[in-house]
Amino acid sequence: MIKRTGAALTIELLERQGVTQIAGIPGGANLPLYDALSRSRIRHILARHEQGAGFIAQGMARATGRPAVCFATSGPGATNLLTAIADAKLDSIPLICITGQVPLPLIGSDAFQEVDAYGMSLPVTKHNFLVRSVTELFKVVPDAFRIASSGRPGPVLIDIPKDIQQAEIEFARWPRAGSTDTPRAAPAPAINAALRAIEAAARPVLYLGGGVVHAGGAALVRALAERADIPAVMTLMALGALPHDHPLSLGMLGMHGTVAANHALQDSDLVIAIGARFDDRATGKVAEFCPLAKIIHLDIDAAELHKVRHADFPLPGDVVATLTALLEHLTPQSHELWRDEIAALQRAYPAAWSETAITRPQSLIRTIALYLGPDAIVTTDVGQHQMWTAQVYPFSRPRQWLTSGGLGTMGFGLPAAIGAALVEPQRPVVCFSGDGSILMNIQELATAAELNLNIKLVVLNNGGLGLVRQQQDLFYGGQRFASDHGRSPDFCAIARGFGWSTLDLPEVGYDAESLEAALRCPGPRLIHVPVDSNARVYPIVPPGAANHEMLTGAEL
């Protein structure tokens, strides 16, 4: 017989799942788990705030596609994790959150650091567990990994009361590790109907979402685009699914997308949505989104079909399995006239960041991309810097781009960069942030310094909340309120205080060679860049407007 405590059992089950790194913070209610972890070969990453731990784990999961684990204690530990969990839910990221809980007999007694983590995490998890006996762990831990990684991925929370962590159990054999359910293709008749629609279309557009990346379907999507000669637009979450310089790539659609992407959808007669969910930031006013098009909608989550837009050809299934079946029968197509029309649009609305001066944020981002090369992993926070990066960074592969899409969480970028650097130590990692966002998880500078990770943190400092300011300027009569930081901290001094190297771009006269040297030198470094407080993200679709009503900046 094998004899373990609940805590040791949990840690060994995690080892058997192949977990090698866990981010977290210990506290009273998860100390038995930490005691067991101290004897494990799993590496622990001590974050400085539980939200940081959640986003470090997210960075690992987004960079690898495999479930990543974070630990927090009960009460404030659990509540601090919630934002990172909700973020993982909206972007379908496989995350396993293990929280300590007060002992079972104390639950419901308003015990010290007691909160209902099960109840609070219920609406923001794919599934959650409150473990009520030590034997349940045998099923719950493997189940959590299966659920987090199967079908549409998502976060799973396991709340383990302290007495269950301490209880002893004897058992004869280990359970099987939880694994991803076999992905299934959409039904053959539905695939055939979609094939006929593709072959009949004159102005088709591929609308790619994050599901393409999650499914590992980028190569198949590219094969489909090339064989059927179909231009593709990408959501924020799908950037990198098709390389930025692919002739069929129209870039991002939606609120800050390209004019060509939004107008192509407007004129399209067949939109093929793959792993995309018709989010309002992508579609604009839904009633006017691709009004002439029939819709093929391929998604692993059947509840996404018809949720926002009726699908004429619903394909409930895995992207890889379904596209593999579809490509077997797809004859090559050509849409030369349609591509010419779109090319004319692209010529009429060229990118507005063609100049090379690195005093402009878009040009700076392009220059940094050039210096870092195609191997780099890019994370962002949320705001203007995020949209500029989405618009101009030359993404060339899936999982290169880690950003908070659905929840739009400021504070995501730095801890996600830490997670990415931990699982991809051979790649340079760059985090683009703003002076607003970086303050929301700035404590993780300490974590990155302790681990001496190769992270370049670029703080674009416009002295306030840029996207808010921009919306106030454009849509609230220029009434700027609560969007200016009356006083900005000295970010370089702060970073040095945490043990980071720094580069203040104005201090070196925006010298490109100093920038290149700073980027090439390994280790954590903050690069500070002032940005004009009137700089805006264009194009922009006004909130609530249709995508064809986008403002390009030229009219203002």
Partner 1 sequence: MKMATECRQAILELTVANHPGVMSHICGLFSRRAFNVDGILCLPIGNGYASRIWLRVQEGERLAQVESQLSKLHDVYAVRRHPPDHAAFRNLELIFQD
Positions that interact with partner 1 (CB under 8 A): 118-119, 122-123, 126-128, 130, 147, 301-303, 305-307
**Alpha carbon distance 279, 268 (integer Å):** 19
Q: Which is nearer to partner 1, 122 or 343 (CB)?
A: 122
Residue type, 275: G
**Alpha carbon distance 490, 468 (integer Å):** 22
Q: Which of 275, 411, 378, 458 is nearest to 62 (CA)?
A: 378
Q: Which is nearer to partner 1, 152 or 366 (CB)?
A: 152
Q: Which is nearer to partner 1, 292 or 303 (CB)?
A: 303
Closest approach of partner 1 to the CB of residue 301, in Å: 7
Closest approach of partner 1 to the CB of residue 551, in Å: 32
**Alpha carbon distance 395, 244 (integer Å):** 6
Residues 6+ apart with CB under 8 A from 53: 23, 24, 25, 45, 47, 70, 71, 72, 81, 84, 415
Q: Which is nearer to partner 1, 119 or 489 (CB)?
A: 119
Closest approach of partner 1 to the CB of residue 457, in Å: 35
**Dmax over Cα atoms in the chain, in whole Å?**
76
For residue 426, count CB atoms less than 10 angstroms from its CB and return exposed for 0-12, middle for 13-18, buried for 19 or more: exposed
Q: Which is nearer to partner 1, 186 or 358 (CB)?
A: 186
Closest approach of partner 1 to the CB of residue 283, in Å: 17
At 14, give phi and psi (nearest 5°).
-65, -40
Closest approach of partner 1 to the CB of residue 13, in Å: 19
**Alpha carbon distance 440, 112 (integer Å):** 27
Residue with structure tokens 């029309």?
341
**Alpha carbon distance 351, 141 (integer Å):** 49
Closest approach of partner 1 to the CB of residue 137, in Å: 15
**Alpha carbon distance 282, 289 (integer Å):** 9
Closest approach of partner 1 to the CB of residue 83, in Å: 17
Q: Which is nearer to partner 1, 62 or 126 (CB)?
A: 126
Q: Which is nearer to partner 1, 288 or 301 (CB)?
A: 301
Q: Which of 99, 21, 84, 89 is nearest to 51 (CA)?
A: 84
How is residue 71 annotated by DSSP?
E
Give the sheet arrangement for strand 232-234, strand by strand: 249-252, 232-234, 204-208, 270-274, 294-299, 313-316
Q: Which is nearer to partner 1, 280 or 484 (CB)?
A: 280
Closest approach of partner 1 to the CB of residue 261, in Å: 28
Closest approach of partner 1 to the CB of residue 153, in Å: 13
Q: Which is nearer to partner 1, 56 or 300 (CB)?
A: 300
Contact 198, 263 (CB under 8 A): no
